[in-house]
């Protein structure tokens, strides 16, 4: 695989696209204002968008989504992540630099000027609840935990897709959560940070 291999690209709206590629085995993301030109430069002619994110990237949610997308492929690290980016985690994440789920959302929203706690339960209480049918790019999606605090958080992109840091041994990735029997069964709600 060469440094110019594009795996896929995501149109973010406002004429921006994120190119997700591989640089000697490491995931990379590049943002361009001309997705057609960048795509045609980096990939074969069959390049097609995988995810479209509607809305203006100048909104706080759009800024948070773009920041999270730039972290695709970053390792999961329990307790990892800060407003500055990936960090060494704690406990079982102490040897890995990366993000846990709430560290990724904390980082992404900090790029939009919004401060979130580094705990899923705290983030669940930081903002306005949003019905599933009213989701916007950047909204936080919460999962699990029964009647206690949720145990997982992701950031909504568009079309039923979220970006999240799933678990130890994995990396920051996108997931089609609306069509997932697992995620739909443990969905707890969505919050739009203020």
Give me the active site residues, please: 101, 152, 164
Q: What angle do CA 4, 9, 14 make, to 5 degrees?
A: 125
Distances (CA, A) of 91 to 95, 155, 163: 9, 25, 24
Burial label for 149, CB within 10 Å (0-12, 13-18, 19+), is middle
| Interatomic CA distance for residues 99 and 81, integer angstroms | 5
Classify strands 140-143 and 187-192 as parallel, antiparallel or unpaired: antiparallel
Which tokens go with 85?
Answer: 């980016």
Q: How many CA atoms lie within 13 A of 158 on its CB side?
A: 19
Task: Using the structure block, give the residue that is written with the tokens 């069964």.
Answer: 185
Classify strands 49-52 and 5-13 as parallel, antiparallel or unpaired: parallel
Burial label for 139, CB within 10 Å (0-12, 13-18, 19+), is buried
């Amino acid at each position: 695989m060469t440094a110019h291999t594009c795996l896929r690209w995501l149109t973010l709206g406002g004429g921006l696209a994120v190119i997700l590629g591989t640089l000697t085995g490491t995931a990379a993301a590049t943002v361009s204002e001309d997705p057609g030109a960048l795509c045609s430069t980096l990939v074969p002619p069959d390049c097609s968008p995988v995810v479209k994110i509607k809305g203006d990237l100048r909104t706080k949610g759009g800024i948070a989504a773009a920041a999270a997308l730039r972290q695709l492929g970053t390792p999961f690290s329990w307790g990892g992540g800060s407003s500055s980016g990936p960090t060494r985690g704690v406990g079982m994440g102490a040897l890995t630099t990366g993000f846990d789920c709430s560290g990724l959302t904390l980082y992404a929203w900090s790029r939009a000027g919004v401060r979130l706690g580094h705990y899923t339960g705290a983030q669940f209480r930081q903002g306005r609840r949003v019905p599933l049918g009213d989701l916007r790019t950047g909204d936080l999606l919460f999962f699990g935990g029964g009647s206690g605090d949720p145990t997982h958080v992701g950031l909504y992109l568009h079309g039923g897709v979220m970006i999240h840091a799933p678990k130890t041994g994995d990396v920051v990735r996108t997931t089609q959560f609306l069509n997932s029997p697992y995620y739909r069964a443990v969905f707890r709600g969505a919050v739009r940070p203020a």
